[in-house]
Amino acid sequence: HWSGDGPDVVLIQEPPWIQVGTSRSLESPEGDKIFGLPTLRGFHSFLPDPASWSASSPTERPRAIVLVHKRWPSLAIQYRQDLSPCCDVCTIELSVKWSDGNPCPLVISSVYNGASSENKSDLAETRIREFAVPPNTNWLLAGDFNRHHPDWSTRRAPSAAEADARPLCATIAHHGLTILNDADVATRRASEGGLATVLDLLLVSPNLTELNIESTLDVTFDKATFSDHAVLQFALPLNA
């Protein structure tokens, strides 16, 4: 979500995980390396369940995070550990007042759905299906869902790829979520000899479908992210 002063909330998948310091070590005079996110000035940073990643490892890292601009007071932000059970899903809840004056929390999940070859029980599509989210929750999910399917792309995928997407489709249906993407707008650049694809999705619960968020959705590769994935930028009618 963006305001006139830049993004209020940023959902990042596969964030940079770099050495940020060292700790004293009895085994190494150089100390043990400490890994983490780069310094993100001006934002509150939220990571998934700490049990799912390690600051001592360059590879056991979170694959989905949430940043909230510090113009939002800390008391207005709640970290939802119950909805952040693995390194691939990070969820927060914002205390917001909608433009109609109605105060009602907004739940936001950043999602990275691993390759279909990974352990099925650990995939975000599986963990999210298990979430106990009341049907009247204002819930928004966005991220790299890593699947091909005609429900969100007019580009025909091989039958095997569509089969791989069925568990994700089942999760979307289970929670009654709506896909807001334009199926003709790719979110990942074409690889050499390949086709541009739609892998990054914006999903909302039934309560949010009437807000016409999709009319504000802008998919662009112009941001300086050094990624082959586009930035999905959109606006919500809310105030802190």
- pLDDT tens-digit readout, 40-55: 889 999 999 999 999 9
pLDDT at 216: 93
Say yes or no to pLDDT of 109 above 60.
yes
Compute the average pLDDT of residues 166-177: 96
pLDDT at 223: 67
pLDDT at 147: 93
Say yes or no to pLDDT of 240 above 70.
no
Say yes or no to pLDDT of 139 above 90.
yes
Residue partners of 76: CB distance under 8 A and separation at least 6: 94, 95, 96, 240
- How are beta strands 97-98 and 6-7 bridged, if at all? unpaired
Say yes or no to pLDDT of 91 above 70.
yes
Residue 111: CA count within 13 A, CB half-sphere = 30
Say yes or no to pLDDT of 203 above 90.
yes
Query: 167 or 4: which carries more pLDDT confidence?
Result: 167
The span from the CA of 112 to the CA of 227, in Å, is 15
Residue located via tokens 């390194």: 87
Say yes or no to pLDDT of 193 above 60.
no
DSSP characters for 49-97?
-GGG--TT-SSS--SEEEEEETTS-GGGEEE-GGG--STTEEEEEE--E
Residue partners of 162: CB distance under 8 A and separation at least 6: 148, 149, 150
Compute the average pLDDT of residues 56-81: 93
Residue 131 binned pLDDT confidence (cut-offs 50, 70, 90): very high
Say yes or no to pLDDT of 112 above 90.
yes
Q: Please tell me what DSSP assigns to residue 29.
A: T
Are the beta carbons of 78 and 93 closer than 8 angstroms? yes
Among 50, 22, 18, which residue's Cα sits nearest to residue 34? 22
Say yes or no to pLDDT of 1 above 60.
no
Range with the poorest average pLDDT among 78-87, 145-154, 164-173, 183-192 = 183-192
pLDDT at 192: 62
Compute the average pLDDT of residues 177-188: 92
pLDDT at 184: 85
Say yes or no to pLDDT of 194 above 90.
no
pLDDT at 4: 56
Residue 90, both tokens:
């990070």
pLDDT at 41: 87
Calculate the alpha carbon distances from 173 to 114, 146, 166, 211 in Å: 19, 17, 10, 20
Among 83, 69, 113, 123, which residue's Cα sits nearest to residue 229? 113
Are the beta carbons of 112 and 13 closer than 8 angstroms? yes
Residue partners of 158: CB distance under 8 A and separation at least 6: 148
Say yes or no to pLDDT of 108 above 90.
yes
